[in-house]
Chain A
């Protein structure tokens, strides 16, 4: 079987980026949207075709094979060389499908959403750049390649968040996202250097090799009580924390909602933010076997805490895109904790499979939620929940698709989210009771805040709209209908037969008692939201008042932003920066100025020598010549 054609999947968007980027002023919007959609459509078809052939025929003796096509890109020495290539294995194929599907849908959707915008063609070229980088990240064969594309998705995310560059808040959000993730990527880079230095390779196949030097011999090196590899993996995970907006580097994600809504759907919900999950999954054997999974424990707990904190914050937010942003963070925490509690072999590797499953279904329904929110924002030109209500009559398609997505994320039986969430809870239940309880609680919170959003937008009291809201055009609703279909059908894929930690398919069954618990918790959340928000009443205010301080803390997102501002402004700029500036001004600058002053005063004293009389100069010249001649003569006669 030959999968070398998969290199086209990233190269087509790259070509689109170059063409649309260079001729962005020349190509009229009516064409550029179609060019972008057509190119991504090709990638979409190729990805699904790859998935079809791979999952049908990619097995050898019941094990999914790994196909690698690579070239040496930078050749320094025999050992130190950086390769570029494509790696085809179950998770990369699954991610190809996710990225190409969402990207294609978002391209189609943007044709309607961005209509009439000044930078229409520029927008599509950025989207193509992002798609290229994300495909490259997914297909990376080694740590260095994944790092290069990791930074590229960060850069394209920066460009797209700051797309409305005349808006100061968008510019600030873009900078914040870039700086926060870049800081986390510093850890990633150090982690890569540590791991590859001790392993002697960047290559995923060699690093993940079960008989390889890392997994068999991790105990040989140690640093501060842990294996060097454990430190390396924790540092690599730091990059994942930044990209996936886990605690404590989550502060950029809510602000990133300043970008256009299709961008939020593509980058900040479905694809780029799950790169951290993908990274851990990519290195899963190492995470699991080194130090008996110490680094994996950290992954699990950070995931669990992030999912809980984000779900609590999501309840109190009023900007619909911010609610969805915190919801994304919470669901990614779910994926992280599922990876963290997973084991490696066969059915024990349920958590790994559940994480990938949830990644897949979450991409579909969360992209749909964002597209739905975009459709609502498109209609009434506001992000605030307070400006919405009773929209179900005006926007029936948006209403139905949003409801499907909300039911899916709430884990309502029969929808995609139900199946994947059940697998995650089952994995957590088998391995870590504490995390299981927290996850069930989060499931309830998720259902509550999702339906708070749903009832707040589509039910409740009708507001005074400037003009009557109307349903979005077909270019926007068709992608939503497709994603709604995927939000239901996605759950019926037998993921355990395709994507597993050890590449060996197994049969997974629905764990009925656990599913019943999760479903009833979800239903309680939905019913509470129904009571609170179906009709306008004073219950929410009374409860907010009852929670008092806690409500205030949550509303202000537990003051994480203020904490960061304090650290950067007061500690870094105020103390470190201030003393550094003092040192620079009074030590470094002063010594330079002193040298200059001394030179000036000496030159003032001796400048009389330069009299301007050429005969004086000639005299000194001759005099010098005579002196030198005499010295040579003296030496010669001796």
Chain B
């Protein structure tokens, strides 16, 4: 618990972080930056876990442990996504979203 800082203030911060991520996910044109946006969304969720654990249930640890899980998951997911992007680059020499639009009707 951080003295002088309300839970709502931090929740506002994580919400802003989350929506920045969502906005980035929709608008970025480079696959790497799309991936960065996803990381922002995940981090917002991880901070929320720790926050709620600290403020509402100070005598428990589940929230903190869960956030570690999320970090591990995010690392794995990033590794996978990077692998996909590298393969895509080998195939079409581009990491632009607009170049991946061939899979349609």
Q: Is B6 engaged at the interface, CB distance under 8 Å to the other chain? A: no
Q: Which residues of B contact A220 (CB under 8 A)?
A: none
Q: Is B104 engaged at the interface, CB distance under 8 Å to the other chain? A: yes
Question: Is A612 in contact with B102, judged by CB distance below 8 angstroms?
Answer: yes
Q: Which residues of B contact A148 (CB under 8 A)?
A: none
Question: Is A615 in contact with B97, judged by CB distance below 8 angstroms?
Answer: yes
17 additional A-B residue pairs with CB within 8 Å, beyond A615-B26, A618-B25: A607-B105, A610-B104, A610-B105, A611-B101, A611-B104, A612-B100, A612-B101, A612-B102, A612-B104, A613-B97, A613-B101, A614-B100, A615-B25, A615-B27, A618-B26, A619-B26, A622-B22
Q: Which residues of B contact A612 (CB under 8 A)?
A: 100-104
Q: Which residues of A contact B27 (CB under 8 A)?
A: 615
- A606 nearest CB neighbor, chain B only: B105
For the complex, count residues of A whose C-beta is within 8 A of B.
Answer: 10
Query: Which residues of chain A in 582-611 are interfacial with respect to chain B, using CB atoms and an 8 Å cutoff?
Result: 607, 610-611
For the complex, count residues of B whose C-beta is within 8 A of A.
Answer: 13
Which 9 A-B residue pairs are closest in the complex by CB-CB distance?
A612-B104, A612-B101, A607-B105, A610-B104, A612-B103, A610-B105, A615-B26, A613-B101, A611-B104
Q: What are some 13 contacts across the A-B interface (CB < 8 A)?
A: A611-B104, A612-B101, A613-B97, A613-B98, A613-B101, A614-B100, A615-B25, A615-B26, A615-B27, A615-B34, A615-B97, A618-B26, A619-B26
Question: Is B104 in contact with A614, judged by CB distance below 8 angstroms?
Answer: no
Q: Quote the shortest CB–CB distance from A33 to chain B (angstroms).
A: 70
Query: Which residues of chain B in 71-105 are interfacial with respect to chain A, using CB atoms and an 8 Å cutoff?
Result: 97-98, 100-105
Q: Quote the shortest CB–CB distance from B52 to chain A (angstroms).
A: 20
Chain B residues within CB distance 8 Å of chain A = 22, 25-27, 34, 97-98, 100-105
Once the chains are docked, how many angstroms separate the CA of A622 from the CA of B21? 13
- B34 nearest CB neighbor, chain A only: A615
Interface centre among B25, B97, B102, B105 (most CB of A within 10 A): B105
Q: Which residues of A contact B98 (CB under 8 A)?
A: 613
- A613 nearest CB neighbor, chain B only: B101
Once the chains are docked, how many angstroms separate the CA of A618 from the CA of B41? 14
Q: Which residues of B contact A613 (CB under 8 A)?
A: 97-98, 101
Q: When the two chains form the complex, which single residue of A607, A614, A619, A622 contacts B97, counting CB atoms closer than 8 Å?
A: A614
- Interface flags, A385-428, vs B, CB<8A=1, else 0: 00000000000000000000000000000000000000000000
Q: Which residues of B contact A619 (CB under 8 A)?
A: 26
Q: Which residues of A contact B34 (CB under 8 A)?
A: 615
Q: Quote the shortest CB–CB distance from A548 to chain B (angstroms).
A: 79
Q: Which residues of A contact B105 (CB under 8 A)?
A: 607, 610
Q: Which residues of A contact B100 (CB under 8 A)?
A: 612, 614
Once the chains are docked, how many angstroms separate the CA of A85 from the CA of B10? 90
Interface centre among A610, A611, A612, A622 (most CB of B within 10 A): A612
Once the chains are docked, how many angstroms separate the CA of A607 from the CA of B105? 7
Q: Quote the shortest CB–CB distance from B100 to chain A (angstroms).
A: 7
Q: Quote the shortest CB–CB distance from B95 to chain A (angstroms).
A: 13
Q: Which residues of A contact B97 (CB under 8 A)?
A: 613-615
Once the chains are docked, how many angstroms separate the CA of A619 from the CA of B22? 10
- B98 nearest CB neighbor, chain A only: A613
Once the chains are docked, how many angstroms separate the CA of A474 from the CA of B86? 90
Q: Which residues of B contact A607 (CB under 8 A)?
A: 105
- A607 nearest CB neighbor, chain B only: B105
Once the chains are docked, how many angstroms separate the CA of A600 from the CA of B105? 13
Q: Quote the shortest CB–CB distance from B71 to chain A (angstroms).
A: 23
Q: Which residues of B contact A615 (CB under 8 A)?
A: 25-27, 34, 97
- A622 nearest CB neighbor, chain B only: B22
Q: Quote the shortest CB–CB distance from B35 to chain A (angstroms).
A: 12
Q: Which residues of B contact A611 (CB under 8 A)?
A: 101, 104
Once the chains are docked, how many angstroms separate the CA of A618 from the CA of B97? 13
Once the chains are docked, how many angstroms separate the CA of A330 from the CA of B100? 86
- B104 nearest CB neighbor, chain A only: A612
Q: Quote the shortest CB–CB distance from B98 to chain A (angstroms).
A: 8
Q: Quote the shortest CB–CB distance from B20 to chain A (angstroms).
A: 15
Q: Quote the shortest CB–CB distance from B96 to chain A (angstroms).
A: 11
Q: Quote the shortest CB–CB distance from A629 to chain B (angstroms).
A: 14
Q: Which residues of A contact B101 (CB under 8 A)?
A: 611-613
- B25 nearest CB neighbor, chain A only: A618
Once the chains are docked, how many angstroms separate the CA of A614 from the CA of B103? 10
Once the chains are docked, how many angstroms separate the CA of A545 from the CA of B101? 91
Q: Quote the shortest CB–CB distance from A607 to chain B (angstroms).
A: 4
Q: Which residues of B contact A610 (CB under 8 A)?
A: 104-105
Q: Which residues of A contact B104 (CB under 8 A)?
A: 610-612
- A616 nearest CB neighbor, chain B only: B26
Once the chains are docked, how many angstroms separate the CA of A614 from the CA of B101? 8
Once the chains are docked, how many angstroms separate the CA of A611 from the CA of B101? 7
Once the chains are docked, how many angstroms separate the CA of A87 from the CA of B27? 89
Once the chains are docked, how many angstroms separate the CA of A612 from the CA of B104? 5
Q: Quote the shortest CB–CB distance from A138 to chain B (angstroms).
A: 70
Once the chains are docked, how many angstroms separate the CA of A123 from the CA of B99? 72
- Interface flags, A606-637, vs B, CB<8A=1, else 0: 01001111110011001000000000000000
Once the chains are docked, how many angstroms separate the CA of A614 from the CA of B27? 11
Q: Which residues of A contact B22 (CB under 8 A)?
A: 622
Once the chains are docked, how many angstroms separate the CA of A612 from the CA of B105? 8
